[in-house]
Structure 1
Amino acid sequence: MSALREDFKEILRLVRPNTRVLDIGCGEGDLLELLTQEKGVDGQGLEISPSGVAACLAKGIAAVQGDGDRDLDHFPTQAFDYAILSKTLQQMREPRHVLIELMRIADRALVSVPNFGHWRMRWALLTQGRMPETKALPDPWWSTPNIHLCTLRDFTTLCAELGLRIEACAAVSPDQPARSIDPARPVENWRAETALFLLTRERPRPPAPERAATGDLFD
């Protein structure tokens, strides 16, 4: 395995031991291998690339070939404790649906997204008038796999619309340790290059207790 990615370190910190984990877009299984060795998880991968699936199987990691846009619907409800989608949501054709499916098949989701509101993005647009190329988003506009880029504010707004609670959030970058943040703070929409979210479903509110009839319209 190559040098440990900073987002992998943060995911390793957040995932509880001996849990069931699904990694969507698992590549060659580096993250699942790490979680298995360090946390004893029962891991499974979903990967669109046949060579990626073969690499996972060679490491003893359970993986199947599939497309996160289409195949999450086939997983049973609450089959996992964690569903992980690392730097992939912006490549999905229907990111809203994918997020809904993650929260259906798992109790928690770990989702990382590059922040298009980062100051480097804004500066490049302001000074050059062109789509930015950064460490987090290195490909030119005509060859990038990213089709649904968003800012932190966009993502937190979507979570609120779907009734998801942000249990934890960290800013991550390739060359700096992860930093715990409050993604609702406007300054983080400028500062965080990539953000990793730990999401859970909002607990439904208990029904209001019935009030005894008193015959009075106003108590």
Structure 2
Amino acid sequence: MNGQALLALRPDLRIIADHVAPGSRALDIGCGDGALMAALRDHAGVDARGIEIDAGNVASAVARGLSVVQGDADVDLAGYPSNAFDYAILSQTLQTTRAPDKVLDELLRIGGRAFVSFPNFAYWRVRASLLWGGRMPVTRTLPVAWYATPNIHHLTIDDFRAFLKARAIVTEGAWFLNGDRLTSEWAANFRAEHAVFLIRR
């Protein structure tokens, strides 16, 4: 994929874009303004579709010439047929859903594989904020105060791994980010701010 297009993407989206097979079909759930979809379409020939809850983001994505509908991941994924896509993508959205377990089931029903990225609430700076300050953290990756955050499920990398193991979901790939850079899997639950998983049944 074109290097400039990748550099313009958020770090977790860059990882996803780099690992979606050219010419495949992808559904981006919670696609925002469509930045990832546009990169996949323009530089990898991906048939990218999107669903987004925010009307302003839907308008921005449609203005890019993208196929995006307004919808809610918690209720509207049931309308998609099984195995309609090669990839279902859920980036920085899992922790905002009301029923993340059901949303993940839908992802794996709709797509042969699913990319899931999320902030790691066990990151050491988050732990330190709670331990030493006694307050919910506000960080670069969690920039909104507790009363205004859309995050309603505070999961960690180890929580997600345990969830996958309990449901016999296969991890095909996992990437861990500290800031904008990849970090190793070693102690990722403590050291990584973000995680990206590629999973399948």
TM-score range, shorter chain: over 0.9
Following superposition, the deviation at residue 172 of structure 1 comes to: 2.2
Write the deviation string for residues 14-71 of structure 1: whole angstroms up to 9, x where unpaired.
1000000000011111110001111100010001122222222221111111100100
Does residue 176 in structure 1 map to residue 180 in structure 2? yes
- CA contact 2:9–2:36 (8 Å) conserved in 1: no
Using the size of structure 2 for normalisation, the TM-score is 0.93
Does residue 156 in structure 1 map to residue 166 in structure 2? no
Tell me what 1:75 maps to: 80
* Off by >3 Å, runs of 4+ in structure 1: none
Query: Which of residues 25, 29, 32 is equivalent to 2:37?
Result: 32
Tell me what 2:142 maps to: 137
Distance 1:20 1:168 in 2: 19
Query: Which of residues 85, 89, 113 is equivalent to 1:84?
Result: 89
Alignment of 1:1-219 (within 5 A): 3-173=8-178, 175-179=179-183, 181-182=184-185, 187-201=187-201
Partner SS state of residue 73, structure 2: coil
Partner SS state of residue 13, structure 1: helix
**One-letter code aligned to 2:99:** E
Distance 2:17 2:81 in 1: 25
**One-letter code aligned to 1:123:** A
Partner SS state of residue 160, structure 1: helix
**One-letter code aligned to 2:191:** R
Stretches of structure 1 lacking an aligned partner (at least 5 in a row): 202-219
Distance 1:135 1:166 in 2: 28
Partner SS state of residue 159, structure 1: helix
**One-letter code aligned to 2:126:** M
Normalized per residue, the structure richer in helix is 2
Using the size of structure 1 for normalisation, the TM-score is 0.85
Partner SS state of residue 131, structure 2: helix
Partner SS state of residue 134, structure 1: coil
Percent of aligned pairs sharing the same letter: 46
Write the deviation string for residues 84-133 of structure 1: whole angstroms up to 9, x where unpaired.
01001000000000001000000000000111111001111110011111
Tell me what 1:210 maps to: none
Larger Rg: 1
